[in-house]
Chain A
Amino acid sequence: MIACVAVVGHQNNPLYLQSFTGADDALKLHHIVHCSLDVIDERVNNPKRSVITLNESYLGLLYPTESYKVYGYLSNTKVKFLVVTTDLDVKDTDIRSFFRRFHAAYVDAVSNPFHVPGKKIISRIFAARVSGIVKAFAPGTYG
């Protein structure tokens, strides 16, 4: 299950964070996403260390812990997309396609002329679309 999706700006500032746990505990997800930036930073700053070449946007599994996983995706403009999932058995291709759709939704949202670049995304349409992507992702994983 996807616990949380987040968009983080190129200065590591949160642009969008949505929790899907249902509980009132988004703060811990804020923490997880924020700490995951360490891993992205490390990969971006030490390209030779990273397994995945940086030519690709998809950063792969960032953060395997016992209880959850964080996947990352980095756009050309250094906007980071993160997904926290509590499902420990996720196919890489599923996550990849998820990120592509997520990225597309983000691009549409920030193309809004009323959106101020670098500011939080407050578009309800974006939120609805992301929720839709997340919902669509879940059955694919289990099915």
Chain B
Amino acid sequence: MANYLAQFQAIKNTSDRLVVAVEDVSDLWPSVKEGLEKRLPLKKASLNNKTRNPVYVENLQAEFILTTDSRLRSRFPQEQYLFWFREPYATIVLVSCEDLDEFKTILKPRLKLIVQNEEREWFIVFVSKAHPNNDQATKNAKKVYARLEVDFNTRKRERCCKLDLNGVDASFWEDFDFKIVESIRNTLDRRAQFYEEEIRKMSEQRLMPVWNFCNFFILKESLAFMFEMAHLHEDSLREYDELELCYIETVSTPGKQRDFGGLEHGDDQAALLKPGFKPLSQIVQDDSFREFEFRQYLFARQVKLLFRLGRPLEVVMRGYSFIISFSKTLALHENTLPFCLREVWVISACLAIISSTSSTYDGLAAPDNEKEFYRLHGDLYSLCRIKFMRLAYLIGYGVEIEKSPVNSASLSMLPWPKPSIWPAVPEDASAKVLAKEKLILQANPRMKHFNIQRKQLPLEPSSLLREANRRRASLSVGNLSELIDYRQIDGSGIDGHQKFSPSTTNSMSRTYSGPNLESSLSLDRPMRISEVHVAAEHALENTVTDPDLLKSLSSLEEFEQKYMELTKGAADNYHHSWWKRHGVALDGEIAALCFKHGNYDLAAKSYEKVCALYAGEGWQDLLAEVLPNLAECQKILNDQAGYLSSCVRLLSLEDGLFLAKERQAFQLEVVRLAHSEMKHPVPLDVSSLITFSGNPGPPLQLCDGDPGTLPVTVWSGFPDDITLESLSLTLTNTLNTDEGVKTIKSSDAHILKPGRNVIKLDVPPQKPGSYVLGVLTGQIGNLRFRSHNFSKGGPQDNDDFMSYEKPTRPVLKVLKPRTLVDISAAVSSALLMNELQWLGLIVKPIDYSLKGSLLSIDTGPGLMIDESHTIDINEYAKTMEDKVHAHDSNTITENNTHPLEPKQLYIENGKIALPDWASDTSTTLWFPVHAIDDRMARAASADSPHRQNMVDGMRTIALKLEFGAFRNQIFERTIAVHFTDPFYVTTRVANKCNDGTLLLQATIHSQVKATLCLYDAWLDLQAGFVHVRKENGRPVSSFFPLVISPSSTAGILFSICIDNMAIADQNEVVQAESILNVMYGISGDRSNGAHSPTSLKLGSSDKLFFKVAIALQRPILDPCIAVGFVPFSSNCLRVGQLINMKWRVERLKDLEASPSSSCKDEVLYEVDANPEIWMIAGRTMGHALLSNARGSRTEITVTCMPLVSGHVRPPQLGLPAMDDANISCNPPGPHLVCVLPPTLSSSYCIPA
């Protein structure tokens, strides 16, 4: 059967559509041909696929062929059976007859003969030629057709239809189409079943020796081809898939050694899209086919069907995996194939798939599919690119290929071609060898910018030199040791060359000497790298038949052009796919080539993309490889901002990626650029290079209004010291975001050391709140940098691009306004008036330093500071302690715990500078003050003790404390200090003796919190009084010294009597008041209150002198009028009760003796009452009738109401017109009445 292969091939080529046979019984074909062929292709055909499911096929191609045609007649039955797929799928029998008898006798038997073949699908088209007007003819035709139907239609199937040539019925064509399709469908089903049966039978024999793949193939492909003709592409494709599987199984059966193929001219070009590239008969081998060609053939058939099905994506998917798997297969047979055929084949296969699909993809598919499509295209381009680079490397362009990670990853893990024998140097190739050497020599490896020296990444899996020489059959083992030396120069063509250069001249001279010598030489010694390249090039020229590829490898320029085309193709397609990283990485390769060709602009753009990708995901190792290239581009393009930024980025990469020297070079560039003549300052983000944080520990706390110094830790990533012209930081108030950010600046230039630096920034007074650090800005030359990065206290870390979060830890807290200091009087009790006293002030800092503070003191009226004295200062706590220990001592114990503390201060211009030691502790300041009161103290009557008014002894002192770092804080307070006389005196006449001696008792009440000691007291009496026995006015002197404890009293008795003589001296200036002179001492502690002024003036007498005026009243000598208080009628008074107060006034003497009185018969009276106690109803002042005669009397009544309860003084009646000395009162002194609370009453309320 395999012999039929050629025929099979020919048949396939000629028949591409279904055949419908036309049995023209009545010579009707010429008249109906046109009408019938118009129905083709069949608009819609319902066919069954292989699984007998209905499939609708549109525009099914078919062809009408007369049975008399040579194409159908000349076939042998065997052929018909074999190539059944080309046999007619339906038979149309065209008949026409108008005579029934004729039909019965002639036509019917003939028709029966035709349709007896059961395998045929047939139907009869009865053609009526009768003209419609010809009734007879029409009638006859109808009769015949009816008879035809009876004879040939069965119950199951109608096989007849009628075509009127004159006036075609539309329904006929529908009927006709239906019948054709029905026939085709039936035939197809039957044939498919037949093929399947045959295939099944054959498959069962697969493991038998009789198994012949070719036969199987013919059957299988026939079926596939039949499906294809019937437009059942899906089924056809499946057949091919099965065929492929079966084939692979067949070829992989061990044992049989088969020819692989691929050795013919042109085999290097993939035939993936050319099923007819080679006739199958040529590739047949024994009972099967050569793998190289046949698998490509199968794939090509599949691709053709896939395109028919409109599935370019699947073409690419299958194409890529086919190329990969076929490439592996090629690798297995590499030793038999021409040199590098595998690589060349892959290149052409990839390009073929790309070119065939890129135009067909309409982009209407789902986006996912589109991305996948582009990704596969990218893969194809990429694969093609790798193989192309491999070829280029072999022929010596390797020195020009960028040794990037991308290329290294692709090439260095890809094994070398493994020909059985490495190609030898062709004869007369010395000129080429020379050229190659020149190429190698001239290609100087591009020095990386900044003198970065890195070991170049390998582009070869192992040394090409070694591999080439190893695979040379002739090389002896002895040379291996020599080769081991070469291994050290792996991947470096230049070094390799240099190693060999001494021998170059020798080989040259020998090369010229003759071919024999050359060949012997190639046997003797290992090839040099240039020779390897020449040999490879020569071998490739033999392998490659594609002129385009040959051209691309012919020169370096052509290579780079093709390389660029492939790289761009791959990158662009990857960019359209999901695989962005692949695309961007390839952009880097494009950039490298652009750079090489001086196209710096494009190079920079591409490099930027690459850098952005690597930086964005933190692949610093890769970034470190690309970034210097970008920097170099930017430098060449004079893009200063970009260059600076790149340098800074280089500096901020991890430490291990660059040497210290290189990092210093980066810094030098930054500094040089920053200080160069840049037109505009360049803003730059150095967040990864300079980071900052507040100092660890609690935040700096400032009081409201205080400036401060904020220490900030700044981490510098620069390798060397760097000078910053300015530095500022923003502070953000976390509580109040409305205020925006405050910038604080460091005034002077800083030099940042590598690593940790602490920088102090002055903080002007801020509003209360809590502040966090914001942005660090600064300037290096014209470079304005910003950093947003917070280091977390540890060493600078560049990886935290993802854990980037603003620290919430505040660095500065400005407290709400509060009291920072308190100044109060140390002593609350009164000090001595008119004496020099210590005034104590407690200055109490409240968690705030008073360093450098200044206290201004402004005394109020009646008080002055004695500036001749120093001011004492001591610790307040100690004062209290001292007080405990030395409570009874007059002097304050000096504590020497602070020997250096100045205890004495001076006041200058009313201001005192507080000492530094006192800045944080509470201190007591003691001022010598002198309160002045000119008024003389007066003694009061014991009956109406009238105390000295407190306000009189009050003095104020205004204090102003300026404190804080810049004396910006001010505390002002006015303190009231109470001064008083040491005591007050009350007097009363203790007794009136019968001899006229009055015992005057002076009670001395101590007013100070100190012990008073009376040394002496004497009384200077006023006129009218004299001391008994003319003494000097002292009491019994043995009383003294008399000690009066604080707040207690003491009494002194004086014996006086009325001096009747004194009245006579009318003209003398008489002393109106008596003066009590007291000589006293005081022993008190200044921390308690009043104390001895002698503690100020050492050495002076400690006796003080105090005078009190005492008003003595002579008894009433000449009463003219007596006023008597009439007792109340009721026993008790009540609040709110109206009562009548009555006084009886009686004239004791006739008034003639006093001529001064103008009104003879009346007397002026006045009622004096405390308005808080009494409410007077009516007049309080008036004239009452009182005759001048002695004994006349009258009563004055005033209605009044008590307002408070208790023992109160009643209103008093006074007679202003009369001299007090002439009035005798009863009761003689002030007296009290008792007022009861009001009776309880619900209707009466007392005002509050």
Report which A residues bind B (CB closer than 8 A): 3, 9, 11-14, 17, 23-32, 34-35, 37-39, 41-42, 45-46, 49, 64, 66-68, 86, 116-120
B622 near A30 (CB under 8 angstroms)?
yes
- Chain B positions within 8 Å of A42 at CB level: 375, 578-579
A31 near B585 (CB under 8 angstroms)?
yes
Q: Which of B372, B457, B799 contacts A49 (CB 8 A)?
A: B372
Given contacts A25-B412, A67-B414, contact A30 B617 (CB under 8 A): no
- Chain A positions within 8 Å of B458 at CB level: 23, 25
B408 near A25 (CB under 8 angstroms)?
yes
CB distance from A141 to the nearest CB of B (A): 17
Tell whether B415 is near chain A: CB-to-CB under 8 Å.
yes
- Chain A positions within 8 Å of B582 at CB level: 35, 38
Q: Which of A12, A32, A67, A116 contacts B415 (CB 8 A)?
A: A67
Contact flags (1/0) for B800-828 with A, using CB distance below 8 Å? 11110000000000000000000000000
CB distance from B12 to the nearest CB of A (A): 35
Q: Which of B327, B578, B581 contacts A46 (CB 8 A)?
A: B578
Tell whether B580 is near chain A: CB-to-CB under 8 Å.
yes
- Chain A positions within 8 Å of B799 at CB level: 13, 118-120
Given contacts A31-B405, A66-B324, contact A14 B619 (CB under 8 A): yes
A42 vs B619: C-alpha distance in the bound complex, in angstroms? 20
A108 vs B299: C-alpha distance in the bound complex, in angstroms? 51
- 9 of the cross-chain contacts (CB-CB < 8 Å) are A11-B617, A11-B802, A13-B618, A28-B409, A30-B619, A31-B409, A31-B585, A32-B409, A119-B799
A34 near B413 (CB under 8 angstroms)?
no
- Chain A positions within 8 Å of B800 at CB level: 118-119
A11 vs B615: C-alpha distance in the bound complex, in angstroms? 12
CB distance from A59 to the nearest CB of B (A): 15
A28 vs B579: C-alpha distance in the bound complex, in angstroms? 18
A68 vs B618: C-alpha distance in the bound complex, in angstroms? 25
Residue of B nearest to A38 (CB): B579
Residue of A nearest to B327 (CB): A66
- Chain B positions within 8 Å of A31 at CB level: 405-406, 408-409, 585, 622
Tell whether B680 is near chain A: CB-to-CB under 8 Å.
no
Contact flags (1/0) for B599-637 with A, using CB distance below 8 Å? 000000000000000100111011001000000000000
Most B-side CB within 10 Å, residue of A14, A45, A46: A14
A38 near B578 (CB under 8 angstroms)?
yes
A64 vs B408: C-alpha distance in the bound complex, in angstroms? 17
Q: Which of B585, B621, B802 contacts A9 (CB 8 A)?
A: B802
CB distance from B320 to the nearest CB of A (A): 10
A118 vs B580: C-alpha distance in the bound complex, in angstroms? 23
Q: Which of A28, A35, A38, A66 contacts B412 (CB 8 A)?
A: A28
A118 near B803 (CB under 8 angstroms)?
yes
A86 vs B619: C-alpha distance in the bound complex, in angstroms? 23
A25 vs B621: C-alpha distance in the bound complex, in angstroms? 11
A117 vs B413: C-alpha distance in the bound complex, in angstroms? 34
B413 near A24 (CB under 8 angstroms)?
no
Q: Which of B375, B408, B614, B619 contacts A28 (CB 8 A)?
A: B408
A68 near B802 (CB under 8 angstroms)?
no
CB distance from A71 to the nearest CB of B (A): 15
- Chain B positions within 8 Å of A68 at CB level: 413
B625 near A45 (CB under 8 angstroms)?
no
- Chain A positions within 8 Å of B408 at CB level: 25, 27-28, 31
A23 vs B801: C-alpha distance in the bound complex, in angstroms? 31
A13 near B617 (CB under 8 angstroms)?
yes
- Chain A positions within 8 Å of B406 at CB level: 28, 31
Most A-side CB within 10 Å, residue of B324, B383, B415, B802: B802
A31 vs B584: C-alpha distance in the bound complex, in angstroms? 11
- Chain A positions within 8 Å of B409 at CB level: 28-29, 31-32
A49 vs B797: C-alpha distance in the bound complex, in angstroms? 39
CB distance from A10 to the nearest CB of B (A): 9
Tell whether B446 is near chain A: CB-to-CB under 8 Å.
no
B368 near A49 (CB under 8 angstroms)?
yes
A86 vs B462: C-alpha distance in the bound complex, in angstroms? 14
Q: Can you add 18 more A-B contacts, CB < 8 Å, to A31-B406, A38-B581, A66-B327? A: A9-B802, A11-B618, A11-B802, A12-B617, A13-B617, A13-B619, A17-B621, A23-B458, A28-B412, A28-B457, A30-B619, A32-B409, A34-B585, A34-B617, A68-B413, A86-B413, A118-B799, A118-B802
Tell whether B265 is near chain A: CB-to-CB under 8 Å.
no
Tell whether B1114 is near chain A: CB-to-CB under 8 Å.
no
CB distance from B405 to the nearest CB of A (A): 4
Tell whether B455 is near chain A: CB-to-CB under 8 Å.
yes
CB distance from B800 to the nearest CB of A (A): 8
CB distance from A87 to the nearest CB of B (A): 12
CB distance from A50 to the nearest CB of B (A): 12
A64 near B619 (CB under 8 angstroms)?
no
- Chain A positions within 8 Å of B946 at CB level: none
- Chain A positions within 8 Å of B412 at CB level: 25, 28
A135 vs B234: C-alpha distance in the bound complex, in angstroms? 49
CB distance from B466 to the nearest CB of A (A): 15
Considering only residues 389-440 of chain B, those with a C-beta below 8 Å from chain A are 405-406, 408-409, 412-415
Given contacts A23-B458, A64-B324, A86-B413, contact A30 B621 (CB under 8 A): yes
Residue of B nearest to A43 (CB): B578
A94 vs B580: C-alpha distance in the bound complex, in angstroms? 31
A27 near B580 (CB under 8 angstroms)?
no
CB distance from B1025 to the nearest CB of A (A): 101
- Chain B positions within 8 Å of A39 at CB level: 579
Tell whether B328 is near chain A: CB-to-CB under 8 Å.
yes
- Chain A positions within 8 Å of B579 at CB level: 35, 38-39, 42
A9 vs B579: C-alpha distance in the bound complex, in angstroms? 18
A11 vs B328: C-alpha distance in the bound complex, in angstroms? 36
A26 vs B801: C-alpha distance in the bound complex, in angstroms? 24
- Chain A positions within 8 Å of B405 at CB level: 27-28, 30-31
Given contacts A9-B802, A28-B457, A29-B409, contact A34 B625 (CB under 8 A): no
- Chain B positions within 8 Å of A67 at CB level: 413-415
In the complex, the 6 A-B pairs of residues with the closest C-beta atoms, listed nearest first: A13-B618, A31-B405, A38-B579, A28-B409, A28-B408, A67-B413
A37 vs B614: C-alpha distance in the bound complex, in angstroms? 12
- Chain A positions within 8 Å of B328 at CB level: 66
- Chain A positions within 8 Å of B372 at CB level: 49
Given contacts A13-B799, A67-B413, contact A24 B618 (CB under 8 A): no
A27 near B414 (CB under 8 angstroms)?
no
CB distance from B45 to the nearest CB of A (A): 35
CB distance from B947 to the nearest CB of A (A): 78
- Chain B positions within 8 Å of A46 at CB level: 368, 578
Contact flags (1/0) for B450-471 with A, using CB distance below 8 Å? 0000010110000000000000
- Chain A positions within 8 Å of B585 at CB level: 31, 34-35
A119 near B413 (CB under 8 angstroms)?
no
CB distance from B902 to the nearest CB of A (A): 54
- Chain A positions within 8 Å of B619 at CB level: 13-14, 30, 34
Given contacts A49-B372, A66-B328, contact A27 B625 (CB under 8 A): yes
Contact flags (1/0) for B1116-1153 with A, using CB distance below 8 Å? 00000000000000000000000000000000000000
CB distance from B240 to the nearest CB of A (A): 24
Given contacts A13-B802, A35-B582, contact A66 B617 (CB under 8 A): no
CB distance from A110 to the nearest CB of B (A): 14
B414 near A66 (CB under 8 angstroms)?
yes
Residue of B nearest to A17 (CB): B621
CB distance from A76 to the nearest CB of B (A): 18
CB distance from A5 to the nearest CB of B (A): 15
Residue of A nearest to B588 (CB): A31
CB distance from A122 to the nearest CB of B (A): 11
A116 vs B793: C-alpha distance in the bound complex, in angstroms? 14
Residue of A nearest to B342 (CB): A66
- Chain A positions within 8 Å of B614 at CB level: 34
A11 vs B455: C-alpha distance in the bound complex, in angstroms? 30
B455 near A24 (CB under 8 angstroms)?
yes
CB distance from A111 to the nearest CB of B (A): 18
A14 near B618 (CB under 8 angstroms)?
yes
A105 vs B578: C-alpha distance in the bound complex, in angstroms? 31
